[in-house]
Amino acid sequence: MDLEFSPGDEAFRAEVRAFVERNLAPATRAKVLDGRHLAPNDLVEWQRTLHRQGWGAPSWPKEHGGTGWSPVWQHVFEEECARGGAPPQLPFGIRMVGPVIMTFGTPAQRQRFLPRIVGGEDWWCQGYSEPGAGSDLASLKTRAERRGDHYVVNGQKIWITLAQHADWIFCLVRTDPTAKAQAGISFLLVDMKSPGVTVRPIITMDGRHEVNEVWFEDVHVPVENLVGEENRGWTYAKFLLGHERTNIAGVGASMRELARLKRIALLERKNGKPLLQDPLFAARVAEVEIELRALAITNLRMLTGETRAGVGAGAEASLLKIKGSEIQQTLAELMMQAVGPYALPVQREAFDRGELGAITGPPYAPPLAAAHCKMRKVSIYGGSNEIQRNIIARTLLGL
């Protein structure tokens, strides 16, 4: 693999950078670069802006409304959007259920759902985890019983990110309770407006309403919303998780956060000098930067290999997930350490409204403690890092 970007790649980088600078709302850019809370409309408007440019689905093939870009251009696009302060594209549609529908769905499902994902018309959420089925996902109990041309769904999902805004949820449900755990699971697409769907908020330790419980009580789902074959949902779930774990690596966002860490460490002082000049702190920053650059190269190699082989992400995605989540956690920890006691929690609603009188210390400090708390979960979702190490041991090392 050539690790140098070609002139064409660099020209594309300049095009993306100029596009972001021209089209991203300054208020949204400021929120992202300062680590402040994004409103749902910030995410939707950016997706629609990308769609108007023809860039709504960077990793999709052209025949499904994507760009058809090479892995290198996908990487450059992600890097430049993150660097310029663009909101992340919601992964649940673009990176997760979209590829599943493309690969395993019917032509009618592709025609119905894919254009609305790319255009930012439908907001999706993921219905995998349950109170007794997290990393051990095959033990899920949410039941879907077929009755004529509908499934009737009953059960509970938990830790459902941004379900309060979602139009649709893709769910793993048990359709054959007598089969072995993985063999009796199906993949259903459920309209969140269906009677019997209830969303209950879970407030996390950073004070945000980001995750939810979702309850299904006699929810009728048309059989046409079954993806692929009944009782083969585990196969589709593994395919989806490979895409999710690659996405969790978050190389572009981590590069942006590394730059933010350096800015903070230049502003903070220790013994009269910028903190970034302190040998111990500078060494930790250098260490995480080296790890991030290595991760970026590994990510590119993996994406290129998938394209050449014509297959999706395999166990190698677990490597990206582990290292990417650890880097994100380290960056959040170093930023919080850099500002010391000024990272203590504040009245977040007042800060998000720009009422700086609600805080003490520098204006870049208030979001840091909450970000540190939020980043603790990245080593858990998508399959905990302990589970990922087991996958690597079995699949790649043959242990």
Give the C-alpha separation, 211 to 219, whole Å.
21
- Contacts for 95 with CB less than 8 Å, ≥ 6 apart: 59, 89, 243, 244, 247
244 is catalytic: yes
Give the C-alpha separation, 67 to 48, whole Å.
15
Active-site choice (79, 80, 130, 244): 244
**Angle CA(292)–CA(295)–CA(297) in degrees, nearest 5?**
115
DSSP characters over 225-281 = GEESSTT-HHHHHHHHHHHHHHHHT-HHHHHHHHHHHHHHHHHSEETTEEGGGSHHH
Please name every residue paired with 157 in a beta bridge, in sequence order, or none if there are none: 214
Strand, coil or helix: 207: coil
Q: How many CB atoms lie within 10 A of CB 68?
A: 13
How buried is 220 (Cβ within 10 angstroms: 0-12 exposed, 13-18 middle, 19+ buried)?
A: middle
Select from 59, 62, 63, 52 the least CA-distant residue to 22. Answer: 52
- Contacts for 251 with CB less than 8 Å, ≥ 6 apart: 75, 78, 79, 292, 295, 296, 299, 324
Give the pair of three-digit tokens for residue 86: 């663009």
Give the pair of three-digit tokens for residue 130: 């349950």
Please name every residue paired with 213 in a beta bridge, in sequence order, or none if there are none: 158, 200
Q: Which residues are part of the catalytic machinery?
A: 244
